[in-house]
Each structure stands twice: as C-alpha cells, then as structure tokens.
Chains A and B, each alone.
Chain A
C-alpha cells in the first residue's frame, strides 16, 4: 500500500459512520486481500481489544459495590464528564471550517444542538437529523481546518 493510498483510505474512513478506525482497517484489509482481508483486519482490530475490555469490566464488577470503588467513582464521574466535553471540542476542531464567518456558523450549529439537548429536551435523533440537513444544504462549501482526528 502506498502512502497516497493510505492517505486516501484514511480520509474516506473519516466519512464512515461508527468507529473510524474500523473503517480504516476494513479499507486496508480490502486493499491487501479483498473481503477476506476486510474480515481479518476488522476482527484483528476489534476482537482482542473487546476481550480485554470485557475482562477489565468483569474485574471491575467484582469490586464495584465496595465502599472504596464507590468513593473512587465520585472522582471518576467528573473526569469522564470532562473527557466527554473535551471529545466534543476535538470534534469541533476537526470539523469546523476556515474563516471567521464559516467558523461562526459552524459553532452556532454546535451550540444550537447543545441548547436543544440541555434546555429544550429535543430528542437526540432529531438534533442529529437537523445537523445533517443543515450540513447538506449549507455547510459543504469549504474543507475542514484539519483532517487530523483524535476522536478514534
């Protein structure tokens, strides 16, 4: 696989739904060995990591009810909340466009979604649908500021 092919696969994977790394693995797998390669690449990426995740979760479940684990959770909860907010900021950083006007419009879409969820109780699916419709109609004119992504 050439650097150009890898770059193209990476860019296409960013358009896929779900976990982008899975899409990237699938595209690389197809390039390497067709549909068998897709299955091998995705299974190789997901199954060992999922097994480790299940093992960690099962181990945690054994101590989850203890007083120490409950106390630790009081600190882990705000940390995961903060991480989630940071992930939102990273998503904006990788998606928002160049230029003051375009950036202001993009931030307004993001903020409207936040307000709709927190204050108006708009269903999540409706907010995503509205974002998709607004995006298809009005947000496609300029490339994003960066094609890098750290949201996985």
Chain B
C-alpha cells in the first residue's frame, strides 16, 4: 500500500471516530481484513500506544510504523492531527449550531454505534488467534475492569498481561 493510500485509510478512521481508540474498528476493517496489517500488529500498536505518552489515539502512529515504517508513522500522525482541527474554524462560525439538538443527537448516535463496534473489535481481538484459553478470558475480564475503573496505569495492566503470557503462554 502506498503512502497516500495509507494516509487515506488513517484519515478516514480518524475523521469518522470520536476520540481515543474509537478509530480501531475502521482501521481493523481497512488494514487487517485485506491483509495489509495483522491482528498481532494491531495488538502491539494498542499496547505500545497505551504505554507511550500522549493521547490514546496515538496508537495509530505505532500501527503506521509497524505497517510502513517511518513513512507510515508520519502518515498516521498527520491523519490523526487534521480531523480534530475542523472544530477550530467551525466554533468561530457556528458555535450555536454545534450545540443544537440534532448535532448533539448525531454525536451521541455515532458514539453509541462506535461503542458497539469497539466492543465487537475487542471480542475479535481476544479471539484473534483462535479460541481463547480460560486464563486468557480471565485476563481480558481483569483488564476490562481495571481499565474501566481507571485506577491503575495502563502500562501496569499490559505488564500483567505480558507476565501472564510468559508464565502461561509457552
């Protein structure tokens, strides 16, 4: 896949998502399904994105690097930076329109649909390498609870997963 096409994939995922990991269902559909990226690379990118500094949504920079090196990371960075900026000129021109009921409903509808898609993607990731073992299901449940509660840094949760993998995954 050439750099411009990769930029298009990342831009579409970023422009049609609402924060953080919500670009994941679109990216997984556009990159993993056609064989451009693997589920392993998606998993690695999410983990690195959670460990690294900056917004959660920067996992796409890691994914861009894994797919196409520095060029891929640069395309992902540009694609992640541009869509949020549309809000800057819009707020100057149409602040009242932005808080109107249909717009609020549209944003809510996209967020709820994206949440369903994200849950489906999470299930897909857990079962990406075949039927998960009991310990893997337990690990997924623990990670979900810890992430939802937000009391432990994601890097620690990932370290727990890696340690469990080293102990039980061989």
Chain A contact residue count (CB 8 A cutoff): 95
**A106 and B165 in contact, given A50-B58, A78-B132, A83-B157 (Cβ under 8 angstroms):** no
Instruction: Return 13 A-B CB contacts under 8 Å, by A number.
Output: A15-B103, A18-B19, A20-B18, A27-B91, A53-B73, A54-B73, A68-B166, A79-B157, A87-B122, A90-B148, A91-B115, A140-B100, A151-B19
Q: Is the CB of A141 within 8 A of B101?
A: yes
A99 at the interface (CB under 8 A from B): no
Q: Cα distance A117–B104 when bound, in Å?
A: 24
Residue from B40, B119, B143 within 8 A of A78 (CB atoms): B143
Contact call B84/A16, Cβ cutoff below 8 A: yes
The answer on a CB contact under 8 Å between A79 and B88 is: no
A76 touches B123 (CB 8 A): no
In the bound assembly, the distance between CA atoms of A149 and B111 in angstroms comes to 12
Chain A residues 15 to 49 lying within 8 A of chain B, measured CB to CB, are 15-23, 26-27, 30, 38, 42, 45-49
- Are B98 and A12 in contact, with the CB atoms below 8 A? yes
Q: Interface residues of A: mostly helix, strand, loop or mixed?
A: helix
Task: Report the minimum CB–CB distance from B19 to chain A (whole Å).
Answer: 4
Q: A17-B83, A45-B54, A50-B61 are in contact. Are A79 and B110 (CB under 8 A)?
A: no
A-side contacts of B116, CB under 8 Å: 88, 109-117, 127
Question: Does A89 sit within 8 A of B, measured CB to CB?
Answer: yes
B57 to chain A, nearest CB (A): 4
Cα–Cα distance between A73 and B41 once the two chains are bound (Å): 10
Which residue of A is nearest B141, CB measured? A82
Within 8 A of B (CB), among A64-79: 64, 67-68, 70-79
Whether A152 is near chain B, meaning CB under 8 Å from some CB there, is yes
Residues of the A chain whose Cβ atoms lie less than 8 Å from the Cβ of B80: 18-19, 22, 46
CB pair B66–A17 under 8 Å, yes or no, is no
Please tell me if the beta carbons of B117 and A135 are within 8 angstroms of each other in the complex.
no
Determine the residue in chain B with the shortest Cβ distance to A38: B88
- A17 x B104 contact (CB < 8 A): no
Pick the 8 closest A-B CB pairs, nearest first: A135-B109, A49-B54, A131-B113, A75-B165, A140-B105, A113-B116, A74-B169, A82-B143
Contact of B106 among A23, A132, A150 (CB under 8 A): A132
Q: Which residue of A26, A67, A86, A131 contacts B112 across the interface (Cβ within 8 Å)?
A: A131
Which residues of chain B have C-beta atoms less than 8 A from A57's C-beta? 44-45, 48, 61-62, 65-66, 73
Shortest distance between the CB of A137 and any CB in chain B (Å): 7
Find residues 124-149 in chain B having any chain A CB closer than 8 Å to their own CB.
124-129, 132, 136-137, 139-148
> Are B87 and A13 in contact, with the CB atoms below 8 A?
yes
Q: How far is the CA of A140 from the CA of B167 in the complex (A)?
A: 49
Please, what's the 1-or-0 string for A103-140, where 1 marks a CB less than 8 Å from any CB in chain B? 00010011111111110000111011011111111111
Please determine whether A135 and B112 come into contact, CB atoms closer than 8 angstroms. yes
Taking a contact as CB atoms under 8 Å apart, the answer to whether A72 and B29 are in contact is: no
Cβ of A71 and Cβ of B47 under 8 Å apart?
no
Tell me, yes or no, whether B3 is within 8 Å of chain A by CB: no
Contacts of A133 in B (CB 8 A): 109
